[in-house]
């Protein structure tokens, strides 16, 4: 049976915070902006072609806002700025409406805040364009200069400046949301990687351990074929049972149902060591806290495999405490210690639970000791089981 994949990328990514915010802006702000634009056209248009000209400016501004809400306003920046930028001088010099700046005052800040650099310069240029264009009204109007400047230059330039100024904190807020969303995505990816590593480690624990034990038992069965046929058959039956148990554990792992039992792992380790001719002594300083049993069982299983693979042990001593285990074996080969990647992975798991996994080699002995945070008082103590 093939194990299920731990993570599967959905066909469609769920909407993130950034996308939800843009969708909210589009839903909440676009209708009132459209209503304001239509109202300005109705109020200012004196002829049908005036209405068409002003409507083009409003339509370009609304398109720019819609694309901004979708996150790609730069795609339509040039045509929208050209249209709204043309409607403003047309309103100043021909249509006689100071409200024709509305389109460029809306579109300009939306485009400016998306620029990668020179946003300040672009904002100044935008405000200057609106102000200078409004001042040109003096060339065609006989109205008082003061009133003309206020209506066509000061008010439009001020409102455009406010819009441009608001674009900067809005940009900062948008960037912060984007970074938070990216951080969340990265953390989700790391969680998937960690889960895959956990799965690989558990699979190594199950199948790697079994393969080494099967190898040991088959070797023993071969030796017994001529001297003790009944014992050889018994070893082969144990191999068959062990393989079947491994298949079941692999299925449980695939469905996230696998749980290690320390007592079972302890009995299994004792049987394996004895089958290999290794004397085993188990000291129980206290009953193991059930919350620590599964992780300590993993340490015991991995250490048992390492001893059978890498050591020429004759004696193994296992010491159990409330939230710890220590395995000491002799028969350590001379030279540097082999790279025990399984224990390295387990060290990370133990550290993740607030504990510590230490390995050390000294005087021909190898010590593997795992300690988890001490459980609450009240656990009973056990005795000693020597073999």
Residues 173, 266, single domain; the answer is no
Residues 27, 128, single domain; the answer is yes
284-297 residue pLDDT tens: 888 888 778 888 88
313: domain range? 260-387
DSSP single-letter state for residue 202: H
Share of the chain above pLDDT 70, in %: 77
- Structural domain contains residue 288: yes
DSSP bridge pairs for 359: 368
**Residue 354 pLDDT grade (very low, low, confident, very high; cuts 50, 70, 90):** confident
pTM: 0.48
What mean pLDDT do residues 33-62 have? Answer: 88
Short-list 279, 344, 274, 275, CA closest to 306:
344
Taking the C-alpha atoms of residue 298 and residue 325, their distance in angstroms, rounded to an integer, is 11
Q: In what order do the strands lie in the sheet with 315-321?
A: 356-362, 365-371, 324-329, 315-321, 279-284, 384-386
The phi and psi torsions of 201 (rounded to 5 degrees) equal: -65, -45
Written as six digits, the tokens of 244 are 């079947």
- Structural domain contains residue 296: yes
The phi and psi torsions of 146 (rounded to 5 degrees) equal: -60, -50
320-338 residue pLDDT tens: 988 889 999 998 876 666 6
Taking the C-alpha atoms of residue 190 and residue 184, their distance in angstroms, rounded to an integer, is 10
Residue 133: count of CB within 10 angstroms of its CB: 23
- Using alpha carbons, list the distances in angstroms from residue 181 to 6, 246, 250: 23, 41, 36
- Which pLDDT belongs to residue 188? 58
- Which pLDDT belongs to residue 150? 92
Q: What is the CATH classification number for the domain harbouring 281?
A: 3.30.565.10
Tell whether the model's pLDDT for residue 22 goes beyond 80: no
Lowest mean per-residue pLDDT among 8-17, 135-144, 316-325, 352-361: 8-17
Domain count of the fold of the chain: 2
136-163 residue pLDDT tens: 998 888 888 998 899 999 999 999 888 8
Share of the chain above pLDDT 90, in %: 13
The phi and psi torsions of 118 (rounded to 5 degrees) equal: 60, 35
Taking the C-alpha atoms of residue 272 and residue 280, their distance in angstroms, rounded to an integer, is 10
- Structural domain contains residue 206: no
Residue at which a domain ends, from 186, 207, 223: 186
- Which pLDDT belongs to residue 83? 92
Residues 151, 28, single domain; the answer is yes
What mean pLDDT do residues 342-352 have? Answer: 79
């Amino acid at each position: 049976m093939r194990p299920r994949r731990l993570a599967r990328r959905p066909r469609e990514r769920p909407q993130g915070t950034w996308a939800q915010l843009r969708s909210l802006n589009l839903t909440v702000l676009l209708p009132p902006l459209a209503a304001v634009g239509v109202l300005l056209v109705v109020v200012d248009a004196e002829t049908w072609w005036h209405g068409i000209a002003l409507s083009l400016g409003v339509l370009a501004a609304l398109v720019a806002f819609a694309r901004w809400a979708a996150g790609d306003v730069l795609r339509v920046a040039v045509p929208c700025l050209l249209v709204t930028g043309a409607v403003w001088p047309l309103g100043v010099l021909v249509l006689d409406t100071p409200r024709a700046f509305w389109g460029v005052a809306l579109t300009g800040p939306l485009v400016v805040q998306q620029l990668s650099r020179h946003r300040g310069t672009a904002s100044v240029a935008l405000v200057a364009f609106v102000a200078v264009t409004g001042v040109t009204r003096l060339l065609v109007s006989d109205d008082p200069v003061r009133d003309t400047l206020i209506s066509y230059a000061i008010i439009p330039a001020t409102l455009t400046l406010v819009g441009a100024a608001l674009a900067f904190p809005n940009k900062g807020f948008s960037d912060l949301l984007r970074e938070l969303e990216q951080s969340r995505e990265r953390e989700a990816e790391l969680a998937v990687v960690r889960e895959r590593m956990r799965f690989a480690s558990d699979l190594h624990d199950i199948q790697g351990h079994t393969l080494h034990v099967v190898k040991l038992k088959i070797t023993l069965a071969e030796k017994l074929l001529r001297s003790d046929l009944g014992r050889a058959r018994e070893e082969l039956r144990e191999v068959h049972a062990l393989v079947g148990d491994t298949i079941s554990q692999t299925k449980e792992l695939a469905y996230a149902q696998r749980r290690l039992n320390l007592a079972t792992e302890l009995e299994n380790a004792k049987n394996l060591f004895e089958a290999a001719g290794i004397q085993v002594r188990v000291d129980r300083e206290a009953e193991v806290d059930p919350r620590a049993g599964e992780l300590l069982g993993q340490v015991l299983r991995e250490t048992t495999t390492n001893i059978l693979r890498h050591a020429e042990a004759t004696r193994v001593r296992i010491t159990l405490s409330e939230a710890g285990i220590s395995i000491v074996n002799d028969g350590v080969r001379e030279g540097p210690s082999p790279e025990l990647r399984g224990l390295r992975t387990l060290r990370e798991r133990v550290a993740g639970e607030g504990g510590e996994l230490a390995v050390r080699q000294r005087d021909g002995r190898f010590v593997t000791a795992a300690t988890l945070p001490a459980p609450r008082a009240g656990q009973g103590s056990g005795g000693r089981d020597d073999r």
